[in-house]
Amino acid sequence: SLTDDGLISLAESCHYLETLIIANCGSLTDNTLIALGRNCHQL
């Protein structure tokens, strides 16, 4: 299962990520979306 910590680590490591499907991941918080927005500008 996906966690905030896991996706934040992904965002910090994969700056050129272009696609990420996180449908039906109700356990993720705003912190994950903020990290993705700050680090993955290609999304």
Q: pTM of the entire structure? A: 0.85
Residue 30 CA from chain centroid, whole number:
10
Angle between helices 30-39 and 4-13 (to 10 degrees): 0
pLDDT tens digits for 1-43? 889 999 999 999 999 999 999 898 888 999 999 999 999 999 9
Q: Number of structural domains, the chain? A: 1
Q: Is 37 helix (H, G, I), strand (E, B) or coil?
A: helix
Which amino acid does the sequence have at 3?
A: T
The pLDDT assigned to 29 comes to: 95
Question: How far, in Å, CA of 5 to CA of 37, rounded?
Answer: 15
Q: How far apart are the first and last CA of the chain?
A: 21
Tell me the residue range of the domain where 8 lies: 4-39
Cα 32 from Cα 34, distance rounded (Å): 5
